[in-house]
Amino acid sequence: MDTSYRTGRKVGLTLTFVYLYTKVSIVSVAPIRLSSDPAEAAAIAAAVAVPAHVVQHKGHGHAGTAMALAPLAHVLFHRVMRHNPANPRWEARDRFVLSAGHASLLLYMQLYLTGYGLELEDLDASRGLDPRTPGHPEYGHAPGVSMTTGPLGQGVASAVGMALAGLHESAVFASGTGMLDHTIWAVAGDGCLQEGVSAEAASLAGTLGVDNLVVIWDDNRVTIDGRTDEACTEDVRSRYRAYGWRVLEIDDPLDIHHIEDVLGKAAERTGAPTLVPIRSIIGWPSERFSGTPAAHAGGFGDDEVAAVKSKLGFPADAGLDELVTAPALAFGRRARERGARLEADWRAAVNRWAARDACAVAEWTTFRAGRLDEVNGDSNGAGGTVLDSLAVPEPGTSVATRKSNGAVISAMHDASAPRSRLWGGSADLSGSTNVAVAGKRFSRMNPGGEFVAFGVREHAMAAMLNGVALHGPWRPYGSTYLVFSDYMRPAIRLAALMRLPVVYVFTHDSVAVGEDGPTHQPVEQLASLRTVPGLDVVRPADAAEVIAAWRRVYTETKRPTAFILSRQDVPVLPERRCGGGGGQRWVRRLAISRW
C-alpha 80/C-alpha 345 separation (Å) is 16
Q: Are 481 and 432 in contact (CB under 8 A)?
A: yes
Q: What percent of the chain has pLDDT over 70?
A: 88
Residue 292 main-chain phi, psi, to 5 deg: -120, 155
Q: Which amino acid is at 357?
A: D
Question: In whole angstroms, what is the distance from residue 428 CA to residue 456 CA?
Answer: 6
Looking at residue 286, its pLDDT comes to 94
In terms of pLDDT, which residue wins out, 426 or 391? 426
The CA distances from residue 183 to 77, 164, 217, 471, in Å, are: 13, 11, 16, 12
Q: Considering just the CA atoms, what is the radius of gyration of the chain in Å?
A: 26
- CA-nearest of 290, 369, 332 to 64 is 290
pLDDT digits (tens, 9 = 90+) for 329-382: 999 999 999 999 999 999 999 999 999 999 999 999 988 886 434 333 334 333
Confidence check: pLDDT of 165 > 50 = yes
Amino acid found at 451: F
H or E segment and range at residue 157: helix 154-174
Helix then strand then coil, in percent of the chain rounded to 5, is: 45, 10, 45
> 556 pLDDT band (50/70/90 cuts)?
confident
Quick one: which of 55, 138, 558, 143 has its CA closest to 130? 138
pLDDT exceeds 80 at position 418: no
pLDDT bracket for residue 555 (50, 70, 90): confident
pLDDT tens digits, residue range 182-193?
999 999 999 999
Confidence of residue 155 (pLDDT cuts 50, 70, 90): very high
CB 281 within 8 A of CB 68: yes
Q: How far is CA 170 from CA 243, 270, 342, in A?
A: 24, 16, 19
Residue 515: what pLDDT? 82
Question: Burial level of 285, CB count in 10 A (0-12/13-18/19+)?
Answer: buried
Residue 500 has pLDDT above 80, yes or no: yes
pLDDT band at 419 (very low <50, low <70, confident <90, very high): low
CA distance 449 to 427: 16
Q: Please compute the mean of the pLDDT values over residues 51-68 and round it to a whole number.
A: 95
What is the torsional sign of CA 400, 405, 410, 411? Answer: positive
Binned at pLDDT 50, 70 and 90, residue 592 comes out as low
Q: What is the pLDDT of residue 137?
A: 96
Q: Residue 392 in contact with residue 550, Cβ under 8 Å?
A: no
Sign for the pseudo-dihedral over CA of 242, 247, 252, 253: negative
- Phi/psi zone of residue 396: left (φ > 0), alpha (ψ -120 to 50 degrees), beta? left
What backbone torsions phi and psi does residue 503 show, to the nearest 5 degrees?
A: -115, 125
Q: Is 363 known to be catalytic?
A: no
Beta bridge pairs of residue 424: 477
Does 31 sit behind a cis peptide bond, omega within 30 degrees of 0 on the bond before it? yes
Cis peptide before 473 (omega within 30 of 0): yes
For the chain, counts of helices (H) and of strands (E): 21, 18
- Residue 561 carries which DSSP code? E
State whether residue 31 is helix, strand or coil.
Answer: coil
What domains can be seen in the chain, in order of their start residue?
4-344 (3.40.50.970), 386-593 (3.40.50.970)
Closest C-alpha among 459, 473, 478, 485 to residue 557 = 473
Residue of 458, 524, 545, 556 with catalytic role: 458
Give me the pLDDT at residue 383, please: 30
pLDDT per position as a tens digit, 449-498: 999 999 999 999 999 999 999 998 999 999 999 999 999 999 999 999 99
Query: Using an 8 Å Cβ cutoff, are 48 and 103 in contact?
Result: no
Average pLDDT, the chain: 88
Q: How confident is the model at residue 420 (pLDDT cuts 50, 70, 90)?
A: low
